[in-house]
């Protein structure tokens, strides 16, 4: 009598199955390491599954060793696998938390965030400029919290530090001391690549001096942030045409910015700032060169973005009428916040 052949086959099947599983777990973990290096949040699910599987395997081994014949080696083996799997799960989630698109990460989807309430948080912010021996204290200890979906305005006399403050929030400049947190992430901890992505995808900046590219057409200027992000040609065209319509410049899309009026250039700058659907818009005097009707239209449009998409907006303005249209006015003087006013009528309950 020989061995029944099915036994050998089943042993072979189990062995190859477990080998396949091990290879799969290894691949998943490798994808995890790659996803962390490349900062691709969506792939984090693979190593998480692998770690969760490790935990399950470990738990099963512990259960077997306790319920069947007790074996110290399989008990310690099971415990080790469980603990390692658990640590892997936890560290993956925590690492996943620190990136500029934190709110899109699995960590926030699973646990939410204590700091997610604030889109922008400034802690003891100080900025000094050094011109040779002279020190210019532009921002002198600002603490400010801006809720997600809030629309605030900053007012103050010329030279009080408004543009400097926006530049610090938008990661265009580094503070001398203190912290800037965007969606709970301290931006000083981000590497250059994450910072660049934060500026391109999460923040839309409207500069006081527009900063348009004069060699390129209006169309190209608005399209540029999407090119950087790698959006398809058709989608880029659709979006640029939509925004040109909104800012009322469809008939001037092939002009160069210098052939436009100040107000028109300002509208191009606004279209460019919002083309990537940023979650935060920082605008330095977005209505400074517009007549009051055009100015009001732009602010109305921003309000719509704010209400419909929950976009957080911070604008600097000298125009009281514009400021009154926002949820809150923050007053700045000599680089310090000296007061604020909440416009109850505008704040949604
Ligand atoms: N690059 C720089 N080097 C040195 N000092 C600077 C620099 N940029 C700004 N400052 C100084 O810092 C202070 C704040 O400047 P900031 O541009 O933030 O003012 P502001 O409130 O935006 O003024 P405005 O309403 O005129 O635009 C000013 O005293 C200014 O002279
Ligand atoms: Mg300024």
Q: Is residue 73 part of a domain?
A: yes
CATH of the domain at 224: 3.40.50.300
Ligand 1 pocket, mutate which of 163, 317, 331 (most atoms under 8 A from CB): 163
Instruction: Check if the beta carbon of residue 226 is closer than 8 Å to that of residue 275.
Output: yes
Please check whether residues 161 and 283 belong to one and the same domain: yes
Domain-located, residue 104? no
Q: Return the minimum-mean-pLDDT range out of 11-20, 188-197, 290-299.
A: 11-20
Q: Is the pLDDT of residue 2 over 60?
A: no
Nearest C-alpha to atom 24 of ligand 1 is from which residue? 158
Dist. CA 159 → ligand 2 center (Å): 7
Distance from the alpha carbon of residue 197 to the mean position of ligand 2, in angstroms = 25
138 in a domain, yes or no? yes
Q: Which of 63, 97, 131 is the last residue of a domain?
A: 97
Judge if 146 and 46 occupy the same domain. no
Q: Is residue 107 part of a domain?
A: no
> With a 6 A CB cut-off, is 221 part of the ligand 1 pocket?
no
Same domain, 311 and 162: yes
Q: Is the pLDDT of residue 330 over 60?
A: yes
- Same-domain pairing of 156 and 64: no
Q: Are residues 78 and 159 in the same domain?
A: no
Edge-to-edge strand ranges of the sheet holding 328-333 = 203-206, 280-284, 312-316, 151-155, 328-333, 336-342
Among the listed residues 340, 317, 270, the one whose alpha carbon sits nearest the alpha carbon of residue 166: 317
Is residue 138 lining ligand 1, measured as CB closer than 6 Å? yes
Mean pLDDT on 170-188: 90
Contact 267, 298 (CB under 8 A): yes
- pLDDT for position 9: 61
In a domain, 349, yes or no: no
Residue predicted with more confidence, 138 or 110: 138
Q: How confident is the model at residue 295 (pLDDT cuts 50, 70, 90)?
A: confident
Distance of CA 84 to the CA centre of its chain: 31
Whether 317 lines ligand 1, by a CB cut-off of 6 Å, is: no
- With a pLDDT cut of 70, the percent of the chain lying above it is 84
Asked whether the beta carbons of 119 and 181 are under 8 A apart, the reply is: no
Ligand 1 close to Cβ of residue 209 (< 6 A): no
What is the rounded CA–CA span in Å between residue 61 and residue 93? Answer: 25
Is position 112 within any domain?
Answer: no
Domain of 28 in residue numbering reads as: 5-97
Closest ligand to 284 CA? Answer: 2
Q: In the predicted model, is pLDDT for residue 310 greater than 90?
A: no
Q: What is the mean pLDDT of residues 303-329?
A: 92
Last residue of a domain, one of 68, 97, 126: 97
Within-domain flag for 109: no
Do 150 and 279 have their domain in common?
Answer: yes
pLDDT band at 131 (very low <50, low <70, confident <90, very high): very high
The tally of domains found in the chain comes to: 2
Q: Are residues 152 and 272 in the same domain?
A: yes
64 lies in some domain: yes
pLDDT in tens, 245-292: 988 899 999 999 999 988 889 889 999 999 988 999 999 998 887 788
Question: Alpha carbon 54 to chain centroid distance?
Answer: 32
Mutate to test the pocket of ligand 1, among 161, 288, 331, 335 (most ligand atoms within 8 A of CB): 161
Tell me: do 204 and 76 sit in the same domain: no
Q: Is the CB of 164 under 6 A from ligand 1?
A: yes
Ligand in closest contact with the CA of 130: 1
Mean pLDDT over residues 183-205, rounded?
A: 84
Residues 239 and 123 in one domain: yes
C-alpha of residue 172 to centroid of ligand 2, in Å:
14
pLDDT of residue 137 exceeding 60, the answer is: yes
Whether 150 and 280 map to the same domain: the answer is: yes
Residue 336 pairs with which residues in a beta bridge? 333
**CB contact burial 21-60 (16+ within 10 A = b; e otherwise):** eeeebeebbebbeebbeebebebbebbbbbbebbbebbee
Q: How do residues 35-93 score in pLDDT, each as one tens digit?
A: 766 666 666 677 777 777 777 777 777 777 777 666 677 677 777 777 777 777 777 76
**Ligand 1 atom nearest residue 167's Cα:** 18
Assess whether pLDDT exceeds 80 at residue 348. no
Same domain, 302 and 222: yes
Measured from the CB, is residue 160 less than 6 Å from ligand 1?
yes
Compute, in angstroms, the gap from residue 135 CA to the centroid of ligand 2: 19
Residue that terminates a domain, selected from 67, 97, 127: 97
Ligand 1 contacts CB of residue 136 (under 6 A): yes
CB 85 within 8 A of CB 51: yes
Distance from Cα 64 to the centre of ligand 1, integer Å: 70
In the sheet that holds 134-147, the strands lie side by side as 134-147, 118-131, 177-182, 185-186
Mean pLDDT of all residues in 116-122? 87
Q: Is the CB of 129 under 6 A from ligand 1?
A: yes
Number of the ligand 1 atom closest to the C-alpha atom of 156: 21
90 and 200 belong to one structural domain: no
Q: Is the CB of 162 under 6 A from ligand 1?
A: yes
């Amino acid at each position: 009598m020989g061995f029944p052949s099915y036994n050998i086959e089943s042993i072979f099947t189990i062995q190859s199955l477990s080998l396949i599983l091990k290879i799969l777990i290894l691949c998943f973990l490798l994808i995890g390491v790659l996803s962390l290096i490349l900062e691709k949040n969506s792939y984090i699910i693979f190593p998480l599954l692998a770690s969760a599987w490790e935990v399950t395997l470990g738990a099963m081994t512990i259960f077997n060793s306790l319920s069947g014949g007790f074996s110290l080696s399989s008990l310690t083996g099971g415990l080790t696998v469980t603990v390692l799997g658990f640590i892997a799960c936890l560290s993956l989630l925590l690492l996943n938390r620190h990136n500029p698109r934190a709110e899109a990460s699995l960590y926030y989807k699973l646990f939410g965030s204590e700091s997610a309430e604030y889109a922008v948080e400034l802690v003891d912010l100080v900025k000094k400029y050094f011109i040779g021996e002279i020190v210019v204290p532009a921002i002198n200890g600002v603490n400010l919290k801006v809720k997600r979906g809030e629309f605030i305005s900053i007012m103050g006399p010329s030279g009080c530090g408004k543009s400097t403050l926006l530049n610090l929030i938008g990661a265009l400049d580094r503070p001398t001391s203190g912290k800037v947190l965007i969606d709970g992430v301290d931006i000083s901890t981000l590497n250059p690549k994450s910072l660049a992505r934060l500026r391109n995808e999460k923040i839309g900046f409207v500069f006081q001096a527009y900063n348009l590219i004069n060699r390129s057409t209006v169309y190209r200027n608005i399209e540029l942030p999407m090119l950087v992000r790698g959006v398809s040609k058709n989608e880029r065209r659709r979006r640029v045409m939509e925004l040109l319509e909104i800012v009322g410049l469809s008939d001037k899309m092939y002009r160069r910015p210098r052939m436009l009026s100040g107000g028109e250039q300002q509208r191009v700058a606004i279209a460019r700032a919002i083309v990537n659907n940023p979650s935060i818009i920082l605008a330095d005097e977005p209505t400074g060169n517009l007549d009051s009707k055009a100015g009001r239209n732009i602010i109305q449009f921003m309000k719509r973005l704010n209400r419909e998409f929950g976009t957080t907006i911070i604008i600097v303005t000298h125009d009281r009428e514009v400021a009154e249209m926002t949820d809150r006015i923050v007053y700045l003087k000599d680089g310090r916040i000296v007061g604020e006013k909440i416009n109850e009528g505008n704040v949604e309950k």
